Amino acid sequence: MNQKSNLYRKEKIYGFLFILPPLLGLLIFTLYPMIYSIYGSFTDWDGLGQMNLVGLSNFKDLWTDELFHKALFNTLFMMLGIPIGIVLALLLALGLNRGVPGTTAFRVIYYVPVISSLAAVSIMWNWAYNGDYGLVNQFLDLFGISGPNWMANKYTVKPALIIMAVWKGVGYTMLLYLAALQSVSRSYYEAAELDGAGSFKAFWHITWPMVRPVTFFIIVTNIIGGSQIFTEMNIMTPTGGPEYASASVVFYIWQKAFGNFQMGYASAMAVVLGAFIFVVTLIQFRMNEKQSFDVD
């Protein structure tokens, strides 16, 4: 009896020791900074000296800050890439799922951008988008189209970034879809065929509902990731692009915090962004619950 409880206690200690590192990591690197920045958002902290509480004034300023509104709009606009990426990835996955020859090669080709460093990818696309000797415009030249200088034009800079983001993300999404497709039982399709359903009907009534959990996962993670988009614009348009047309919220936060000594104000923006992500994700989970109910 005594022996057993000692063993139990010992395992408990070991168990605790094993989860301690990630737990500490969470506390030190996530929870603590989060609480610190929430506190910071109510102060005029410049990132160097002391913090004075200023109430809600940072949040009030955000209401009238044109650049913040611009950055917010840009961030939302660039999320247009999410549905485009989903459709493309699903089409690719459907294609590869048919067992065309060279499937493995294609999977590798589509997945390479995913594992490449975002910084390297950004530099590469920056060359491709160059107005004079960029690959993109040289390609357009073949069709007699003289392309714009993508990164220096406020109308093309956002689409250019979207195209790049889609290219970068499509392999990962495709792989998820491919896994989901392969877990759909053949018997459903056989039954559908017997009932005389065409391939579109089979897709709409079997495939699409069956991969819905994956779609949900992709949308949620993409929106969270898309809200925090930063590296691309930091490298490709280091000043925020023509007329700030490619600055994202995180980019603006970074500029305020590290360029202009306004850590408090930047914290307020971070809090707003965090709340936005939280609410949007919450809504998605609610909607997902409702829909699951409907389908069943």
Question: What is the contact surface with another protein in residues (CB under 8 A)?
Answer: 6-7, 10, 44, 46-49, 52, 66-67, 130-132, 148-149, 151-154, 234-235, 238-240, 242-244, 254, 257-263
Q: How far is the CB of 276 from another protein (least distance, A)?
A: 24
Return the axis-axis angle of helices 81-97 and 157-182, rounded to nearest 10°.
40
| Radius of gyration of the chain from its Cα atoms, rounded to whole angstroms | 24
What are the structure tokens assigned to 201, written together? 């009907």
Contact partners, residue 112, CB within 8 Å, separation at least 6 = 171
Contact criterion met (CB below 8 Å) for 265 and 274: no
43 DSSP β-pair partners: 53
Residue 131 has phi, psi (to 5 degrees) of: -65, -30
What CA–CA distance (Å, rounded) separates 110 from 97? 14
Distances (CA, A) of 77 to 12, 92, 127, 245, 294: 50, 24, 23, 11, 31
53 Cβ contact list (under 8 Å, min separation 6):
42, 43
- Minimum distance from residue 35 beta carbon to another protein (Å): 16
CB of 250 to another protein, least distance (A): 13
Indicate the residue among 66 and 296 with the shorter CB distance to another protein: 66
Select from 73, 75, 173, 161 the least CA-distant residue to 118. 161
Q: How far is the CB of 25 from another protein (least distance, A)?
A: 17
Taking the least distance from each CB to another protein, the nearer of 12 and 205 is: 12
- Nearer to another protein by C-beta: 113 or 148? 148
Give the shortest CB-115-to-another protein separation in angstroms. Answer: 22
Of 154 and 201, CB closest to another protein: 154
Residues in the chain: 296
Nearest residue (CB) to another protein, 58 versus 222 = 58
Return the number of the residue (66 or 289) whose C-beta is nearest another protein.
Answer: 66
Number of neighbouring beta carbons within 10 Å of residue 115: 8
Q: How far is the CB of 270 from another protein (least distance, A)?
A: 14
Q: Which is nearer to another protein, 99 or 259 (CB)?
A: 259
Q: Quote the least distance from Cβ 46 to another protein, whole Å.
A: 6
